[in-house]
Structure 1
């Protein structure tokens, strides 16, 4: 009764999920109750802070947040430093598959640029800045075409698309005069292939459900590690208690069998009431 509908043929739990959310934690999580039925926990305790892997962006009542993505390998390396009580290393935002450039531009700020190349006939664009969608950029390029409803100052001759499933690829054809103007202004700037990332508005709910502003990613890692460490201790105690109970049960079974073998306990031809006594 708990399986997905037949139309969801690709819906399944990936093998990676249980590496991030350990099955050993299931017994020690705090579960919610809905109409007398136990449902999902109030929150899970993954092995790494996923908010730094996936990032977060949003607006709420009186607050907003913008948490960049970071490299899981760097996060794991810093967690290992934390365990060894060593100083953690600063991290730079990282996005899987992004081939552009992310470079510092002041405290907690970064400049992001896409990838483009000048050719004999125009400009080839093979990467857009982060958080700039392909369709939006296509509409921007179309304003440069002749006959556009909202014509741009820079006019081009043609725009072609050769995208793949995972990669953007625009080919913009322009005359020599337009190309010279773009180079003078800076091709990246002229083609609006610039963006920015900020680490100055990292606002999240902590493990107690309180809103908190974090100075940087390392502060998030440090707080996460404290909670994760606590749950390792809770899990350890639970497993010790569980194994102790199993040991006592097996020990009593062995003692029972031993008493029968040695004749100290006779169970044959005896009434059940006598055995219970």
Structure 2
């Protein structure tokens, strides 16, 4: 016989409270993870997906960012304040080097630049956005029927994830920190990603081996170069080089800095190399040359230009060390933290960009077959609708069918061999029962649609 151990009421309450705390904290961690780590499917975090959902549904023309943020909040039941939503919208529309390779929203106004990164954008009230033209080609309307839309407070909101034609987690990169996990992926050129997908499509054996493709980070508008590391033992994934040109024995012109650095930050660095710089350390003197002066000759934030003057001795030092190293124009990118949520919203860790691409390929390919099946079904239903309508109008004109009550009409349609359309009302014949008076005008319909009977009704099918 089992002996039960009595637990004091105070201890029991402590245990219950502890269990409740653990349960609530677990819920918080999961929600934080879902909101902070992007999905492998569409490269978006939850808030970004809400913005895209509202934009694709309602953003038909340019709209103020603060007004659009209000629309997103109300349409998607967003609970974290309009200010946070405005920041997300601004981030999705930024185009300066190091931000988005493909901005899903088209910016109208000052959305930030390389001068101060994302910090120098205007207030949301003075900014406008609209849906970028390319967005509809990446997130196809043909895939809408395949999406699983979420429900909040009785409303259908954004889908669990979208089905882009390319892995946007690589194209635009990701950056997110959650409790215990982080995701940090650099940008990759859209063309490189598309070419890698084509390579996978050429043969089933290739898709099984992520080593058969190779990707290196790339940033739209960046004039420097990116070299992928062949040895990750030191935790370096790739090295990014800016641009510097020797104009004369005492003048150097700098035309590009690595992405992630702002013009203001680099200007501060150059100021630290001046002879009278108060913050110049001995280590800095050993690593970098001393300059006499520098000029800012930028045409705009995307065409930066620093002209640096230094004496011949420091020029020789810079040459010996390498101009790019000597002027802090080399950025070594650590190995990516490739943590993403998979299609089941489970956290998944990838080794490299190639493995991420291959996983996306394996996940995305079956949905093309599902899309084709849905499109064929839709086309077949459209043709059935046209055939039924023409048969119905001809029968009305000949007096074979009279407009009687709904129940008798449905029975007549079935008797005459009309094809029911799935999900078209309870009977499958709502497309006929709900015809308007104008559509029931046979002569009008004949003049408009006499040549509209599709060739497929004479024995063809949707797949032909």
> CA shift at 1:271, angstroms?
6.6
**1:190 equivalent among 326, 330, 339:** 326
The residue aligned with 1:208 is 344
3-state SS, counterpart of residue 339 of structure 2:
strand
> CA shift at 1:158, angstroms?
0.8
Equivalent positions of 1:72-151 (< 5 A) are: 72-85=190-203, 87=206, 88-108=212-232, 109-120=237-248, 121-151=250-280
**1:21 equivalent among 136, 139, 144:** 139
Q: Tell me the number of residue pairs that the alignment of Structure 1 and Structure 2 aligns.
A: 273
**1:40 equivalent among 158, 164, 167:** 158
The residue aligned with 1:253 is 389
**1:219 equivalent among 351, 355, 371:** 355
What is the RMSD of the two structures over their aligned residues, measured on CA atoms? Answer: 2.6
The residue aligned with 1:158 is 293
Q: Residues 173-200 of structure 1: CA distance to partner in whole angstroms, max 9, x if unpaired?
A: 1112222222233322221111112445
Q: TM-score, normalised to structure 2's length? A: 0.54
State how far apart, in whole Å, the 1-side matches of 2:406 and 2:302 are. Answer: 74
Q: Which has the higher strand share?
A: 1
**Which stretch shows the higher mean deviation, 201-210 or 41-50?**
201-210
Q: Residues 188-222 of structure 1: CA distance to partner in whole angstroms, max 9, x if unpaired?
A: 22211111124453221212112212122222122
Matched, 1:49 2:167: yes
Q: TM-score, normalised to structure 1's length? A: 0.86
> Runs of 5+ in structure 2 lacking a partner?
1-57, 68-124, 207-211, 412-464
Distance 1:271 1:213, change over 3 A: closer
**1:31 equivalent among 149, 169, 194:** 149
Q: State whether residues 66 and 198 of structure 1, in contact with CA within 8 Å, keep that contact through their aligned partners in structure 2.
A: no
> CA shift at 1:274, angstroms?
10
Q: State whether residues 68 and 198 of structure 1, in contact with CA within 8 Å, keep that contact through their aligned partners in structure 2.
A: no
**1:63 equivalent among 161, 177, 181:** 181
> CA shift at 1:140, angstroms?
0.9
The residue aligned with 2:49 is none
Q: Residues 21-50 of structure 1: CA distance to partner in whole angstroms, max 9, x if unpaired?
A: 111122321112222222221211111001
Q: Residues 52-100 of structure 1: CA distance to partner in whole angstroms, max 9, x if unpaired?
A: 1111234332223332222211211222222232535312222222222
Distance 1:275 1:114, change over 3 A: closer
- Between 1 and 2, higher relative CO (CA 8 Å, sep ≥ 6) is seen in 1
Deviation >6 Å, runs of 4+: none
State how far apart, in whole Å, the 2-side matches of 1:243 and 1:19 are. Answer: 21
State how far apart, in whole Å, the 1-side matches of 2:328 and 2:341 are. Answer: 35
Distance 1:273 1:101, change over 3 A: closer
State how far apart, in whole Å, the 1-side matches of 2:261 and 2:173 are. Answer: 16
